[in-house]
Amino acid sequence: MSKINHVFNYPVTRVDDQIDIYHGISLPDPYRWLENPDSPETQIWINEQNNITFKYLEQISVRETIKERITKLWNYEKYGIPFKEGDRYFYFKNDGLQNQSVLYTLKHLDDTPTILIDPNTLSADGTVALSSLAISNNGELMGYGLSKSGSDWVEIKVRDILTGKDLEDHLKWVKFSGISWTKDNQGFFYSRYDEPSKGNELEDINYYQKLYFHKIGTEQSEDILIYHRPDQKEWGFSGNVTEDGSYLIISVWRGTDPKNLVFYKDLTQENSPVIELISEFKANFSFIDNEGSLFWFKTDLNAPKSRIIAIDTDNPSPENWSEIIPETDETLEGVGILNNQFIAEYLKDAYSSVKIFNLDGTFVKEITLPDIGSVSGFGGKRHDTETFYVFTSFTVPSVIYRYDLLTGISRVFRQPEIDFNPEDYQTKQVFYTSKDGTKIPMFITHKKGLKLDGHNPTYLYGYGGFNVSLTPSFSIANLVWMEMGGVYAVPNLRGGGEYGENWHQAGMKFNKQNVFDDFIFAAQWLIENNYTSPQKLAIGGGSNGGLLVGACMVQKPALFAAALPSVGVLDMLRFHKFTIGWAWCSEYGNAQENEAEFKLLYGYSPLHNLIENTRYPATLITTADHDDRVVPAHSFKFAAALQKAHSGENPVLIRIETKAGHGSGKPTTKIIEEIADKWAFLVDILQI
């Protein structure tokens, strides 16, 4: 198809004379006013930007065809992993194109399920989502959290499972919290913040989280404060009741740093104190289960790829800790106890393996998986002999299996039916060398029979941060991209968790440039090996991945034809000023409080490294007006600065979704629209 000839008359974005001083250096921030998303001036700017963007996208003739194909493929039954509480099973299901998945319950797996909650009935446009869920031990009550328009703010309600009716309990100003019931089903623990100032709910910074107990049938004002730290504004608290009901385990977190503290409270004793078990931020400790006073943890203490240890709270000194399962060459991702055995999920070169160990640490066997891919699940209670897991890969949609721990047999519980043939596609893993000589794995997926002639449209996707691992997973969006002849490439950049905490730390703070180098060298490898060329190469990523895209397109503008930064962290000098942004300082640094970190952040901040009269890649920035995780000001300011600096005919546009947030809980209709717009943009730019 021929490329659209379009003259882009970008909105004139007002320039302020705002000057900030960082460690003696004066820096302008001309678009500071865009940090207020609700001001009339910003609203006008949003409308003007969207008008230009959608006018351009609507002219791309294949846009509607792409949308129709995505919609057709998306329309298949999607099941969540079943779980059990009391004598009932629960699982989520989406009929295909429902905006939100529906929660069902049933007593036996072959029964006709009944709807427990359908979030689609809570709003006309599907923008109210179920964000958290916990069933009481007797299977009779459900605590659930609702999020509106993609916000991180959650309201918790309680439903009687037998009647399907809500109780009067209603908790507000909950954020970054689970729900954990007491053994007697009388109430639950949760965490909340103080009510923010009126009108600033989506921007106000979040400090001083508090852990509460809510007794069913009482007002939130009567909730019992279990733990808070007025002297530690950044500490957050996650409270979870042990399976035997004897203890409340309090994991204390500080930002996004994986290092945590562990406290506990004896629930068998009235007014028992909170005991500090792990009182220094030295490593990550993830509670698994307990046998009386013996607590099992997964930890990366002296084991970057993690191991399992036991701590006896009667003799809690570190010299009395015992190692149950030592660290291996594979990264230990998660552990549970089923059939009185450890079920351990590992990552080997970013794909899954699952192993069973006795409680004394002796190896029993490895569970046979269908193929190379990703698994999750294996939930349940200590003595359960059945469990469920889901397997997926780049070419295999999520298949749910029921696993019998006594026989070791996996049987398909639910398998989707989608209008495509997985045998038409192939995935391979390559290892390339980054700038400093480090070997980086990369998955490459495409149609079989691909010609390595350097002309294939390629979408290079990455993240590289916060200990997040990118493992093989199926995506309708990526399938449609590959149907059109596209190559989909995912490198496992440093900063992620694929090879443990050392891999994570190799891509954070003063090592952050490693992540950008890893991504840039992935692009160069694809070009050198004739998969694609700079004229056919697009890059994408969201959130921290949006930062990745922004930094790389600024550092190497000629290497990419197109860039799709989504809900990105793009102003590295002020990210800590909004909502939960301060929590990322452990990952990025703090420009305000540390001069060395200021120089680091200023050196790669996408917003601050744009150069006037530079030809940047064609860019489609995507964000949402209700994103209170990475506030839209990042994308707004970057779009304004990019449009001013850019030289050339390439479009540099911003697409601003309304009544949506960072991505969680986004309605299916909005997801499909956004994917269609992204692929249409790439079809035009890459001339597919």
Kind of pairing between the strands at 562-566 and 618-624: parallel
Measured distance CA(113)–CA(644) in Å, rounded: 56
352 is catalytic: no
Measured distance CA(610)–CA(616) in Å, rounded: 9
Which of 578, 679, 580 lies closest to 637 in space, CA to CA? 578
Single out the catalytic residue among 543, 566, 586, 605: 543
Q: String of b and e for 298-321 (b: at least 16 CB within 10 Å)?
A: bbbbebbbbbbbbbeeeeeeeeeb
Question: Beta-carbon neighbour count of residue 217 at 10 Å?
Answer: 12
Do you know the residue count of the chain? Answer: 688
Can you tell me whether residue 88 is helix, strand or coil? strand
Sign of the four-CA dihedral 462, 468, 469, 473: negative
In degrees and rounded to multiples of 5, residue 640 shows phi and psi of -60, -45
Measured distance CA(529)–CA(439) in Å, rounded: 16
662 is catalytic: yes
Single out the catalytic residue among 214, 634, 646, 662: 662
Measured distance CA(169)–CA(402) in Å, rounded: 35
**DSSP letters for 510-572:** GGHHHHHHHHHHHHHHHHHTTS--GGGEEEEEETHHHHHHHHHHHH-GGG-SEEEEES----T
Can you tell me whether residue 44 is helix, strand or coil? helix
Q: Is 352 exposed, middle or buried (0-12, 13-18, 19+ CB in 10 A)?
A: buried
Longest dimension (CA), the chain: 74
Measured distance CA(522)–CA(170) in Å, rounded: 49
**DSSP letters for 395-443:** SS--EEEEEETTTTEEEEEE----SS-GGGEEEEEEEEE-TTS-EEEEE
Half-sphere exposure in the Cβ direction for 87 (13 Å, CA):
3
Which of 431, 428, 454 lies closest to 530 in space, CA to CA? 454
Q: What is the amino acid identity at position 58?
A: E
Please report where in the chains the tokens 């998955």 appear, as a residue.
Answer: 443
Q: Which residues, 6+ apart, have CB-to-CB distance to 176 below 8 Å?
A: 152, 191, 209, 236, 580
Q: String of b and e for 196-213 (b: at least 16 CB within 10 Å)?
A: beeeeebbbbbeebbbbb
Q: Which helix (H) or strand (E) holds 294?
A: strand 294-299
Q: Which residues, 6+ apart, have CB-to-CB distance to 129 below 8 Å?
A: 100, 119, 146, 147, 150, 664, 665, 666
Measured distance CA(554)–CA(627) in Å, rounded: 24
Q: Which residues, 6+ apart, have CB-to-CB distance to 416 below 8 Å?
A: 76, 77, 78, 79, 397, 398, 399
Question: Beta-carbon neighbour count of residue 326 at 10 Å?
Answer: 11
Q: Is 651 exposed, middle or buried (0-12, 13-18, 19+ CB in 10 A)?
A: buried
Measured distance CA(337)–CA(432) in Å, rounded: 37
Q: Which residues, 6+ apart, have CB-to-CB distance to 116 below 8 Å?
A: 90, 103, 104, 105, 142, 159, 161, 164
Half-sphere exposure in the Cβ direction for 261 (13 Å, CA):
17
Return the active site residues.
Answer: 543, 662
